[in-house]
Amino acid sequence: MKIYFAGAIRGGREDSAFYLELVEQLRPYGTVLTEHIADEQLTSLGESMDDRAIHDRDLAWLKEADCLVAEVTTPSLGVGFEIGKATEWDLRVLCLFRPNTGRALSALIAGSDRLTVREYQDASQVKKIFDEFFT
Amino acid sequence: MKIYFAGAIRGGREDSAFYLELVEQLRPYGTVLTEHIADEQLTSLGESMDDRAIHDRDLAWLKEADCLVAEVTTPSLGVGFEIGKATEWDLRVLCLFRPNTGRALSALIAGSDRLTVREYQDASQVKKIFDEFFT
């Protein structure tokens, strides 16, 4: 199982500790292609690579993946873009959202029947969500 | 010409005055299907409609549109999702970004060759960008 994990980078890194925890908890289920999203050294300036190279690499990984797991609490153009592509390409998509931040999830995500949205409060609740999604 | 205008709603309404100005300036070029994005009464709680109904209506409008014009300065899952779909559906896509806010644009948007990104500082510079894009 190849898993594409998505989280905000230039949209803001305030959830990076969650991304790290989610990537750790995804490991038993398959290979996470995008571990760098969880790198706590990565700032909202993003990677030092050329944008075109990042775009082409990320879309190649997404095409290769069996599923997309996205943390969608911090609004992000890139994460939305990836969800838009993944739902067109018929990947399985799991979106994880923390409502206790006071944010409201985009209606385009919350209202889609081509993906699964699951809410959680903290990382201890994620194993159950992953177990259900992957089995 | 049917124009789908995209801007952040639940991602944050701090740019709503720009959305209003852009929608006004788009009118000479065609019909703007999504004028409500620019409604200054609309808050980050979003519309009062059911999420599924919003999703289905917005995707129907996007399918019907000839082009997508997106203000991408405020990060937004919905706007990213729409750009992801539109680039799959071969719509023409124009993304408008204000670098003077200190934000960095997502590499997935900035690095795509299937859309046009144009930077601006204020609404007075937009007419020239629209003239070039629509002619």
Question: Strands, E, within B2-123: which ranges?
Answer: 2-6, 31-32, 67-71, 92-97, 116-119
**pTM (two decimals):** 0.97
Q: What pLDDT score does A79 carry? A: 98
pLDDT of residue A87: 98
The whole-number pLDDT of residue B24 equals 97
Look at the block and give the residue holding tokens 């931040």: A101
Mutation for testing the B interface, residue in A106, A109, A117, A119 having most B CBs under 10 Å: A106
B contacts of A83 (beta carbons < 8 Å): 77, 80-81, 84
From the centroid of its chain, how far is CA A36?
Answer: 12
B75 touches chain A (CB under 8 A): yes
What is residue B87's predicted lDDT score, i.e. its pLDDT? 98
> What is the rounded average pLDDT of the residues A80-100?
97
Interface contact B48, partner A, CB < 8 A: no
Cβ of B76 and A106 within 8 Å? yes
**pLDDT, averaged across chain B:** 97
Of A10, A83, A107, which is closest to B84 when you measure between CB atoms?
Answer: A83
* Sequence-separated (6 or more) residues with CB below 8 Å from residue B116: B92, B93, B94, B95, B133
Q: What is the mean pLDDT of chain A?
A: 97
- pLDDT at residue B27, as a whole number: 97
Spans of chain B below 50 pLDDT: none
Q: What is the pLDDT at residue A125? A: 97
A112 and chain B in contact, CB less than 8 A: yes
pLDDT at B94: 98
pLDDT at A82: 98
Q: Which residues contact B100 (CB under 8 A, 6 or more apart)?
A: B121
- Mean pLDDT throughout A2-27? 97
Task: Choose among B76, B118, B115, B128: nearest CA to B97.
Answer: B118
State residue B65's pLDDT score: 98
List, edge to edge, every strand of the sheet that includes B2-6. B31-32, B2-6, B67-71, B92-97, B116-119
Considering only CB atoms, A84 lies closest to which of B54, B83, B107, namely: B83
Query: Quick check: ipTM above 0.95?
Result: yes
Cβ–Cβ contact B105 with A under 8 A: yes
Q: What is the pLDDT of residue A55?
A: 98
**What letter would DSSP give residue A90?**
T
What was the pLDDT predicted at B107? Answer: 98
A47, A56, A79: residue with CB nearest B77: A79
- Tell me, what's the pLDDT at A113? 97
Q: Tell me if chain A has a CB within 8 Å of the CB of B62.
A: no
Compute the distance between CA of residue B79 and CA of residue B55 in angstroms, rounded to an integer: 12
Strand pairing class (B31-32; A31-32) = unpaired
